[in-house]
Structure 1
């Protein structure tokens, strides 16, 4: 991602002086920073705010980079807290850096798209629900092939298997006949909001994956509109951001 540094001169100095003196927030230092997974919500005229997976809302009031927000875009964000709660936000922040995460919808697998979806081996490193998204940290083999790899989360309409009162999904990988010469790590988030049911406030999601040697199944609980840090696995970490050239 190309980054352009914004020069704001006197205005920045005045803004930082305001936060450090007028608001009595000496507990926050401009040398401190936090890195989190979050969702971007545009606010018009290229403005945006950020919703963390624990439900906290951040308002960027200064940024070291030029960022064009997209609706419902998942990101890894590096930020510095400038102020406590104001105007409906939990924190005013300075954005130090921000990276888009591959963000997709769950799609239906049927006879028409089965070939393009593929079912090549892929390995899940971690999987959890956060911020109404299913987050998947995964490994895949990559080599020079016909085209970039593709990953998708699908509801398989061709399968007769079903979990009672749950949601059955499959994490699919299409390597497009590329050589398996090197191991890469990727990260993707899938929007779960369309899978919500009106008769319950949570649902168990079962994810089937074709691993290197066998099929594996993973189960996660999706609790609607609830802070999600409790659902994050102990092994989960900030994802490695790799080039979307590979998926």
Structure 2
């Protein structure tokens, strides 16, 4: 239960409004309490699947009767609303009744050719938190947007093949990527927060032997900034 509490607390810290939550460490833990966690969906075969939770445990969706028309995608990151079931399932740490799955924007890292730089955009956005989960980089962000539902924003993490910036010896230990935002000229009426997960498999060859990633971002108030994140905490 200690490991489960860790990811429940992480979900709280990134600003997600939780359903009523009881500590899994309390002796009086209510097994019927609604919980929220973060994980990655893995398809076994057909529509059968399980969740790999962010601290490495596995959760089986033993009861999905409350889900309606949810389309399962292998590798999809998601917020998972659940209650624990008593029945143990061999090979899994938890068995759960799943009440709701809310997808997290999950994308590949993009190798940007020169001719597509304008379409990718470089509008202002803040990175408020970053962390690695298995083969994903998770970025919590803030940007401004309007209430117009027709206006869709686009987020990308790119390898900029056109970048000719000089790097220091320290920076050579990191792979520089660019976190790009295209607001499509949406009005900056209100500030919003969100979370996006980027798959690292596209840059596996690039990151071998490196300390971490160096993320370029055009911030809301302070211009272009670089934020480093280590693969293993120093």
Q: Could you state the TM-score of these two structures normalised by the residue count of structure 1?
A: 0.72
Distance 1:31 1:173, change over 3 A: same
Post-superposition Cα deviations, 1:162-200, rounded to whole Å, max 9, x if no partner, equal 531321111101111222122122211100123224994
Kept in 2, the 8 Å contact 1:145–1:177? The answer is: no
Q: Does the alignment pair 1:215 with 2:196?
A: no
Partner in structure 1 of residue 196 of structure 2: 188
Kept in 2, the 8 Å contact 1:65–1:95? The answer is: yes
Distance 1:181 1:160, change over 3 A: same
Equivalenced residue count is 200
Partner in structure 1 of residue 175 of structure 2: 167
SS of 2:139's equivalent? strand
Higher RCO, Cα 8 Å, sep 6+: 1
Structure 2 CA distance, aligned partners of 1:198 and 1:59?
34
Kept in 2, the 8 Å contact 1:58–1:89? The answer is: yes
Kept in 2, the 8 Å contact 1:38–1:75? The answer is: yes
SS of 2:119's equivalent? helix
Post-superposition Cα deviations, 1:202-241, rounded to whole Å, max 9, x if no partner, equal 6411111101231121111235xxxxxx89xxxxxxxxxx
Shift of 1:152: 0.5
Kept in 1, the 8 Å contact 2:219–2:225? The answer is: yes
Partner in structure 2 of residue 127 of structure 1: 130
Shift of 1:136: 1.2
Structure 2 CA distance, aligned partners of 1:180 and 1:27?
47
Shift of 1:32: 2.5
Post-superposition Cα deviations, 1:118-143, rounded to whole Å, max 9, x if no partner, equal 00111112111123211111111113
Shift of 1:91: 1.6
Structure 1 CA distance, aligned partners of 2:207 and 2:67?
44
Segments of structure 2 that go 5 or more residues without pairing to the other structure are 1-26
Segments of structure 1 that go 5 or more residues without pairing to the other structure are 1-25, 224-229, 232-247
Post-superposition Cα deviations, 1:145-175, rounded to whole Å, max 9, x if no partner, equal 9841111111111112353132111110111
Partner in structure 1 of residue 118 of structure 2: 115
Structure 2 CA distance, aligned partners of 1:86 and 1:222?
33
Post-superposition Cα deviations, 1:61-88, rounded to whole Å, max 9, x if no partner, equal 1022133211110000022222486322
Kept in 2, the 8 Å contact 1:28–1:83? The answer is: no
Which structure's CA Rg is the greater one? 1
Structure 2 CA distance, aligned partners of 1:79 and 1:122?
32
Structure 1 CA distance, aligned partners of 2:43 and 2:153?
29
SS of 1:112's equivalent? helix
Q: Could you state the TM-score of these two structures normalised by the residue count of structure 2?
A: 0.76
Distance 1:179 1:89, change over 3 A: same
